[in-house]
């Protein structure tokens, strides 16, 4: 069997570990042949490929990013996009496709499967917001990077008696903010799932200063205030119709300074969270996902995605994986509120 592999959406620590596991087991155990599609869905859309064999995946386990490249290309929005992909798969002799990506990449995979393309998905996102899997690889790395940043912010905040805000990624899910904020001992954590009260945030800031310590606020990029409290600027839309987020940290800093008279500064971690070498947890999880993905392809279990349930890797339907985002339950967030202030 000739199998295509692609990585779509934002890059993520652990992508190369998946590619390596898929190819090594696929070649050595099953005798399959592989081809890599470049830059996400743009690869099969335009017939852009690269060789993918055991030699090409040597030494890539600890590397961040993806040797295949990535993009946010959405073939569903392109006239005749699906048919072009199907034609290019036939032209390159590809019998099945392994799509490694998040909500959008796997959403396209689901639509292709509905049109008779043999697809197996692998869940990838630092946001940990994919349904049907307990964890996605990349999340642990992002949380560790954000936690280290928060640790460093504590000391400089106290030295300068400033309120420091750390803005993290996560889009419309607050998993990174919640986990990194708890691990880093933040005084306030703001997530998209629960609109925040700016008056309450400022009260926490002032309370923290009274203890002679400086406050650390961790805010997810998609966090937003209770309606009518603060003006927020709308962002542009990407190819999948998502608003480009970012900037809430700076808006929050200005509001805190205006309301409390205390100096506030913002650190936006941005792409630092998704770059660089993956943690050991993410390397192992990504490797296990790759091994199970090639098993699914070999056994003809198409239209599925590999997923972590407890400590086991299982397969679930792509429809279940993409039907809704996995967001932070408010009850989980409220557990952390006892540490605020």
- Alpha-carbon distance of 93 to 87, in angstroms, equals 10
Report the DSSP beta bridge partners of residue 305: 121, 316
User: Please, are residues 120 and 32 in contact by the beta-carbon 8 Å criterion?
Assistant: no
- pLDDT tens digits along 239-293: 555 566 778 999 999 999 999 999 999 999 999 999 999 999 999 999 999 999 9
pLDDT at residue number 339? 86
- pLDDT tens digits along 222-243: 999 998 777 666 555 555 555 6
Helix (H, G, I), strand (E, B) or coil at 48: coil
- pLDDT tens digits along 77-124: 999 999 999 999 999 999 999 999 999 999 999 999 999 999 999 999
User: Please, are residues 246 and 270 in contact by the beta-carbon 8 Å criterion?
Assistant: yes
Q: Of 127, 140, 282, 295, which is the active-site residue?
A: 127
Q: Confidence band (pLDDT; 50, 70, 90) for 190?
A: very high
Catalytic status, residue 127: yes
Mark residue 89 as left, alpha or beta (left: phi above 0; alpha: psi -120 to 50; beta: remaining).
alpha
For the entire predicted model, the pTM comes to: 0.93
Average pLDDT over residues 122-138: 96
Average pLDDT over residues 296-324: 96
pLDDT at residue number 238? 53
pLDDT at residue number 110? 96
């Amino acid at each position: 069997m000739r199998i295509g592999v692609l990585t779509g959406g934002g890059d993520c620590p652990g992508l190369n570990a998946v590619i390596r596991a898929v190819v090594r087991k696929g070649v050595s155990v099953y005798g399959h042949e592989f081809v890599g599609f470049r830059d996400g869905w743009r690869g099969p859309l335009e017939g852009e490929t690269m060789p993918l064999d055991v030699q090409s995946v040597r030494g890539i386990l600890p590397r961040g990013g993806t040797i295949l490249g990535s993009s946010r290309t959405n073939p569903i929005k392109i006239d005749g996009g699906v048919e072009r992909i199907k034609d290019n798969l036939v032209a390159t002799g590809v019998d099945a496709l392994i799509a490694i990506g998040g909500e959008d990449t796997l959403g396209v995979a689901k639509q292709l499967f509905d049109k008779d393309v043999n697809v197996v998905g692998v869940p990838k996102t630092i946001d940990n917001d994919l349904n049907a899997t307990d964890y996605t690889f990349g999340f642990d790395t992002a949380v560790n990077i954000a936690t280290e940043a928060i640790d460093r912010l504590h000391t400089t905040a106290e030295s300068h008696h400033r309120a420091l805000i750390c803005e993290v990624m996560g889009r419309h899910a607050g998993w990174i903010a919640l986990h990194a904020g708890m691990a880093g001992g933040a005084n306030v954590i703001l997530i998209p799932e629960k609109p925040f009260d700016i008056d309450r945030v400022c009260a926490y800031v002032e309370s923290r200063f009274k203890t002679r310590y400086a406050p650390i606020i961790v805010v997810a990029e998609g966090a937003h205030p209770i309606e009518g409290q603060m003006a927020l600027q709308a962002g542009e839309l990407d190819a999948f119709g998502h608003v480009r987020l970012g900037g809430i940290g700076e808006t929050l800093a200005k509001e805190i300074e205006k309301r409390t008279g205390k100096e506030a500064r913002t650190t936006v971690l941005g792409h630092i969270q998704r770059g660089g070498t993956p943690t050991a947890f993410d390397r192992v999880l990504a490797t296990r996902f790759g091994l199970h993905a090639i098993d699914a392809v070999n056994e003809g279990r198409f239209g599925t995605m590999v997923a972590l349930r407890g400590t086991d890797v299982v397969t679930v339907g792509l429809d279940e994986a993409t039907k809704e985002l996995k967001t932070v339950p408010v009850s989980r967030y409220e557990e952390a509120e006892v540490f605020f202030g």
